[in-house]
């Protein structure tokens, strides 16, 4: 998304539950452990495999042997191909492209559910740097048929993980690239060990894009630093419903497309697209603190609205709880999507979070359901509104969403905040990797989730409640709609504290072994 120069410069989530289980099955002393309820009422065998642990020392996890991750057919390269043009992200150097700032994506899909294929026409309106002769998009796993630039046929080439499009010499600094292609994608596994891509289901499909999956079904500037506006126009005659980010503009049918449009800038990894035998439920809007009524649209497998009611009912109290602590809800809508996927999945897709219906059976609202619903809602503030500038900044999403989840679990008497923090602090004494400099294979590991929430709790104790919550609210409102670095967060924290915090962040965020006691 274009940001004017005057502006200075968020499995059971597989990862999420893995982190919860790691703390539980780790070397936590029993007198600590029994102060919080058993975190995993869901049988371990229903959980998907955890992401590959770092080579030196595997994360202890109850989920290690389970294998319910969607079938892998197109594993993404662990190492970037040498010639790929990218933004030199420390973890994913090939993603994104210098000199490119996408303003909007207009995604038109014609989906043949039975054949598990689609035809696509994507209009990408993008600012391009004056000296740029080629537009480099991330695109992998499908063949492009034709490309237009500003309506005229353009020369293009698919090279390794990129779609390279020649730009005419006499062009504006904003161009519209139209990419036509067909695809029969079948998901895969990211180098981080999580399922990413387009997953066909019985009667439909869904997508998972974090961190590098969007490019496997959608040519895009697939890096969290580039937010854009989005419009989806999807025809899927065989499916009851198509759900995408934003507001429903047109309800589809046998020949009509489903049209969704979003007015909040969004990174590619947050795209929500679910197709199949579902029902959309326009629930009562929620009165926000600001006085605005927030539209709420949930998605459930057809005929299951009643079982899911108890989960819908968590949204309003959670919303009020988080608004009080993090400030105004930052988006134009919200909802919960319970989908036909293997259990152990949760993802903060923007404005409508994704959950596996299998984890919310029989309407039982327990520890795990509270944890997941709170975690993904909190991401709408941490990650979706203020997104990470690079993948190394992921703790700004996951550590804060995990801390928010701890706060909610405490609020509903599922677990005491201080006990959760203490258990995670002890589990963090493992000397594996720092939270601030994660590795690809352990990007979604314990140090990013509960291990990082330990840092957030320590920061709260270091600053005091008043400065801590003022910092969070200032950070979120001042940076809404942008992508930010950890350095910017530290600077903002120092501004709030009125003192240098280098020592604090060196010890807690960047050290492999953080302190073993919280600040008092
Ligand atoms: N961001 C998710 C969470 O809330 C975790 C996640 C990352 C994920 N990539 C994913 C979940 C891919 C499912 C598939 O913690
Ligand atoms: Zn998360």
Is the CB of 368 inside a 6 Å radius of any atom of ligand 1? no
Q: How far is the CA of 392 from the centre of ligand 2 (A)?
A: 15
Cα separations in angstroms, 314 against 41, 294, 301, 340:
19, 15, 19, 21
Closest Cα to residue 205, out of 184, 226, 230, 227?
Answer: 184
Distance, CA 393 to ligand 2 centroid (Å)? 13
Q: What are phi and psi of 308, to 5 degrees?
A: -90, -5
Which ligand places an atom closest to the C-alpha of 12?
A: 1
| Probe residue for ligand 1, chosen from 21, 50, 188, 194 as the CB with the greatest number of ligand atoms within 8 Å | 194
- For residue 355, the ligand closest to its alpha carbon is 1
Please say whether the beta carbons of 259 and 244 come within 8 A.
no
Listing DSSP states for 204-259 in one string gives EEEEE-TTTTGGGTS-B--STT--EEEEEEEE-TT-SEEEESSEEEE---SSSPEE
Give the pLDDT of residue 76: 57
Query: Scanning the structure block, which residue is given the tokens 């003192």?
Result: 499
Cα–Cα–Cα angle for 317, 318, 324, nearest 5°?
Answer: 90
CA angle 161-164-166, nearest 5°? 180
The closest alpha carbon to 393, from 228, 245, 211, belongs to 211
Question: Is residue 195 in contact with ligand 1, taking CB distance under 6 Å?
Answer: yes
pLDDT in tens, 415-425: 999 999 999 99
User: Which tokens is 223 given?
Assistant: 């890096």
Closest-CA residue, ligand 1 atom 4, reads 347
Residue 220 phi/psi, 5-degree rounding, is -165, 165
Determine if ligand 1 sits within 6 Å of the CB of residue 124: no
Q: Which ligand is closest to the CA of 402, given by its number? A: 2
Q: Is the CB of 102 under 6 A from ligand 1?
A: no
- Cis peptide bond upstream of 336, omega within 30: no
CB atoms within 10 A of CB 18: 31
CA distance 309 to 317: 14
DSSP 507: I
Atom of ligand 1 nearest to the CA of 375: 4
* Pocket residue to mutate for ligand 1, from 22, 49, 208, 343, most atoms within 8 A of Cβ: 208
Cα 211 to middle of ligand 2, angstroms = 12
Which residues does 487 contact at the CB level (< 8 Å), separation at least 6?
none
Closest CA to 96 of 353, 388, 352, 349: 388
Q: If we measure between CA atoms, which residue out of 205, 215, 216 comes closest to residue 244?
A: 205
Atom of ligand 1 nearest to the CA of 348: 4
How confident is the model over 447-479, as pLDDT tens digits? 999 999 999 999 999 999 999 999 999 999 999
Closest-lying ligand to the alpha carbon of 396? 2
Give the pLDDT confidence score for residue 4 in this predicted structure. 34
- Give the ligand whose atoms come closest to the C-alpha of residue 189: 1
Minimum-distance ligand 1 atom for the alpha carbon of 16: 15
Kindly tell me the sign of the dihedral angle through the C-alpha atoms of 506, 511, 513, 514.
Answer: positive
Ligand 2 centroid, distance to 178 Cα (angstroms): 33
Which DSSP category does 52 fall into? Answer: P
Please work out whether the CB of residue 372 comes within 6 Å of at least one atom of ligand 1.
Answer: no
Can you give the pTM of this predicted structure? 0.88
HSE value, Cβ hemisphere, 13 Å, CA-based, for 347:
24
* Distance from C-alpha of 58 to C-alpha of 171, rounded to nearest angstrom: 52
pLDDT of residue 445: 97
432 C-alpha to ligand 2 centroid (Å): 20
pLDDT at position 433 is 95
Q: Which two tokens stand for residue 36?
A: 């919080």
Q: Which atom of ligand 1 is nearest to the CA of 196?
A: 12
Residues of the chain with pLDDT under 50: 1-14, 19-73, 80-82
Q: Cβ atoms within 10 A of the Cβ of 361, count?
A: 13
Ligand 1 close to Cβ of residue 16 (< 6 A) = yes
Q: Identify the residue whose tokens are 């695809």.
A: 183
- Cβ atoms 507, 515 nearer than 8 A: yes
Which residue shows structure tokens 């203020």? 386
What is the C-alpha to C-alpha distance for residues 353 and 215, in angstroms, rounded to an integer?
A: 20
DSSP code of residue 506: I
* Rounded Cα gap, residues 351 and 271, in angstroms: 10
Report the relative pairing of strands 386-388 and 482-484 from DSSP bridges: parallel
| Residue 78 burial by Cβ neighbours in a 10 Å radius (0-12, 13-18, 19+) | exposed
d(CA 210, ligand 1 centre) in Å? 6
């Amino acid at each position: 998304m274009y940001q004017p120069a005057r502006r200075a410069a968020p499995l059971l989530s597989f990862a999420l539950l893995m982190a919860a289980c790691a703390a539980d099955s780790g070397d936590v002393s029993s007198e600590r452990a029994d102060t919080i309820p058993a975190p995993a009422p869901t049988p371990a065998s229903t959980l998907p495999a955890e992401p590959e642990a770092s080579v030196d020392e595997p994360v202890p996890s109850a989920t290690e042997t389970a294998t319910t991750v969607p079938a892998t057919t197109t594993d993404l390269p662990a190492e970037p191909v040498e010639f790929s043009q990218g933004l030199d992200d420390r973890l994913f150097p090939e993603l994104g492209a210098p000199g490119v700032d996408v303003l909007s994506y207009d995604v038109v899909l014609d989906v043949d559910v039975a054949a598990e294929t689609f035809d696509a026409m994507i209009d990408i309106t993008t600012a391009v740097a004056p000296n740029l002769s080629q537009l480099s998009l991330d695109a992998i796993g499908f063949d492009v048929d034709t490309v237009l630039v500003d309506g005229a046929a353009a020369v293009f080439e698919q090279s390794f993980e990129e779609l390279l499009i020649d730009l005419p010499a006499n062009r504006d600094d904003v161009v519209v690239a139209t990419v036509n292609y067909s695809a029969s994608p079948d998901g895969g596994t990211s180098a981080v060990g999580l399922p990413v891509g387009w997953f066909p289901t019985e009667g439909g499909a869904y997508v998972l894009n974090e961190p590098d999956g969007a490019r496997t079904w959608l040519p895009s500037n697939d890096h969290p630093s580039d937010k854009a506006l989005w419009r989806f126009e999807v025809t899927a005659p065989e499916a009851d419903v198509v759900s995408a980010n934003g507001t429903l503009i047109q309800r589809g049918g046998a020949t009509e497309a489903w049209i969704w449009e979003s007015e909040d800038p969004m990174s590619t990894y947050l795209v929500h697209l679910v197709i199949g035998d579902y029902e959309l439920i326009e629930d009562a809007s929620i009165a926000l603190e600001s006085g605005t009524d927030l539209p709420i649209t949930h998605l459930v497998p057809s005929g299951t609205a009643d079982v899911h009611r108890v989960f819908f009912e968590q949204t309003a109290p959670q919303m009020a709880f988080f608004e009080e602590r993090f400030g105004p809800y930052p988006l134009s809508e919200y909802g919960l999507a319970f989908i036909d996927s293997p259990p152990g999945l949760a993802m903060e897709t923007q404005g409508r979070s994704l959950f596996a219906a299998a984890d919310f059976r029989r309407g039982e609202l327990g520890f795990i359901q509270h944890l997941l619903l709170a975690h993904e809602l909190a991401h709408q503030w941490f990650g979706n509104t203020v997104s990470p500038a690079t993948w190394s900044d992921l703790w700004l999403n996951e550590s804060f969403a995990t801390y928010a989840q701890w706060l909610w679990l405490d609020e509903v008497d599922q677990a005491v905040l201080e006990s959760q923090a203490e258990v995670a602090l002890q589990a963090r004494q493992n000397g594996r990797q720092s939270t601030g400099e994660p590795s690809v294979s352990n990007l979604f590991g314990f140090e990013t989730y509960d291990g990082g929430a330990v840092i957030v709790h320590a920061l709260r104790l270091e600053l005091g409640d008043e400065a801590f919550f003022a910092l969070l609210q200032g950070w979120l409102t001042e940076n809404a709609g942008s992508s930010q670095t950890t350095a910017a967060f530290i600077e903002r924290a120092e501004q709030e504290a009125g003192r240098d915090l280098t020592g604090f962040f060196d010890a807690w965020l960047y050290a492999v072994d953080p302190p073993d006691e919280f600040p008092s």
